[in-house]
A = this chain, B = another copy of it.
Amino acid sequence: MSTARRAGYRDVKQTILTRVRDKTWPLGTVLPGEVALAAEFGCARATINRAMRELADEGVLDRKRRAGTTVLASPLRHAKVAVPSVRAEIEATGATYRYSLVSRAEQPAPDWLRARLSLAPKAEVVHLRCMHYADNAPYQFEDRWIVLDTVPTALNESFETIGPNDWLISEMPLTDIELVFSAALAGTDYAAFLDVAPESPVFQVERCTWLNGNAVTLARMTHPGSHRLRTAL
């Protein structure tokens, strides 16, 4: 009558999750060991192991050798933020993407940037300013600094037809990303590029990327305040 196939790791995960959610196993509970659960579910220890390991990866459980598996405090502490390239972000909405280079300069890294990225005193960077349009409406103004010590090939690239983000993705491996979100006022500079009033709010995302501890690039991306970064999980 029932569809009871043997329990797979998904079934086990689901059941454990339910028991955590309905407080059958409240906060801090140490769950039965893998062998015990394997007996209960009638499956192999490896199956229980995978279920519990994945729940631990997802932040639901905490596992320690010898100590056993415990229920963690807040089941949902983390959300994933998609970090698509602007192009992908725009094209995903069905709009037409257009890129335009505003300026390009090779220069010594300004002090604030050296401090921010822990650069050497005489580090050189390429500073780009770019615009990204969605259906010809201003979508994002991008201030981009690329560290030449880490990415020397940036010297030979004009960035007139390809955006720095798309170029870097195809050119450079990355190991770390740091994101900072904040709000600011448009001011005269951004206002002109984004076609909004200087006293209107703008939404900024700063993205630093690193390769094995060496700074690769810093991007400061500015959107009209009406822009919304949506994410789920």
Contacts and interface: CB of A to CB of B under 8 A. Distances in A.
A84 B74 CA distance: 8
Interface in A176-200: 176-185, 199-200
Stoichiometry (number of copies): 2
Contact of A177 (B79, B173, B177): B79
Interface residues of A, number: 49
Given A81-B79, A201-B202, A177 B233 contact: yes
A60 B201 CA distance: 36
A78 B83 contact: yes
Interface stretch (A34-42, A105-113, A117-125, A223-231): A223-231
A103 interface: no
A232 B183 contact: no
Contact of A182 (B81, B203, B232): B203
Nearest 10 A/B pairs, CB to CB: A183-B183, A183-B203, A21-B173, A183-B225, A201-B201, A183-B201, A181-B229, A178-B232, A78-B80, A179-B231
Interface of A: 20-22, 27, 73-85, 169-170, 173-185, 199-204, 209, 223, 225-233
